[in-house]
Amino acid sequence: MAKTLLETISRPSDLKKLAIEQLPQLAEELRQAICDQVSRSGGHLAPNLGVVELTIALHYVFDFGYDRLLFDVGHQCYPHKLLTGRLPLLSKLRTRQGMAGFPEPKESAYDLFSVGHAGTAISTAVGMARGDQVLGEKDRRVVALVGDASIVNGVALEGLNNAGTLKRQFLAVLNDNGMSIAKPQGAVAQYFDRVRVSPTFEDIKKRAHEVIKRIPGGSFLEDLYHRSGEMLRAAIATDHMFEHFGLVCVGPIDGHDIPTLIDMLNEVKDIDRPILLHVKTIKGKGFDFSAGDPTTFHSPKPFTVEGCRVELKKSGRSFTSAYADAMIELMEKDPKVFAVTAAMPDGTGLNKVMGKFPERTLDTGICESHAMDMCAGMAKTGLKPFFALYSTFAQRAMDQVFQEVALQGLAVRVCMDRAGLVGGDGAVHHGFMDVAMFRVFPGAVILAASDEQNLKAGLEFMRQYERGPSFIRYPRDSVAEVPLQDSPPAFEMGKANLVKPAKGRKPDLAILAYGTQVYQAAKAIETLEAEGHDVALYDARFAKPVDIELLAELIESGVRILTVEDHGVTGGFGSCVLEACHDHRLPTEGVYRLGIPERWIYQDSRVNQLAETGLDAAGIAKKVREILDDAGALVGEPRVEVGVKSTQAKR
| 495: nearest Cα among 535, 461, 525 | 461
396 is catalytic: yes
d(CA 416, CA 447): 10
Out of 81, 141, 396, 413, which one is annotated catalytic?
396
d(CA 617, CA 465): 34
- Size (the chain), residues: 651
49 sits in which H/E element: helix 46-49
Per the CB < 8 A criterion, the answer to whether 51 and 78 are in contact is: no
d(CA 312, CA 303): 4
**Start-to-end CA span in the chain (Å):** 76
d(CA 28, CA 32): 6
d(CA 242, CA 239): 9
505 is catalytic: no
333 is catalytic: no
Per the CB < 8 A criterion, the answer to whether 428 and 115 are in contact is: yes
| 403: nearest Cα among 429, 377, 431 | 377
| Alpha helices in 465-545, H assignment, sequence order | 517-530
Whole-number Cα distances in Å, 6 to 43, 78, 100: 20, 13, 19
Handedness of CA 34, 39, 43, 46 (dihedral sign): positive
Out of 368, 404, 452, 565, which one is annotated catalytic?
368
| 604: nearest Cα among 424, 436, 448, 440 | 424
Asked if the bond preceding 545 is cis, omega within 30° of 0, the reply is: yes
Amino acid identity, residue 354?
Answer: M
Amino acid identity, residue 420?
Answer: G
Out of 81, 141, 233, 283, which one is annotated catalytic?
283
Active-site residues: which are they? 283, 368, 396
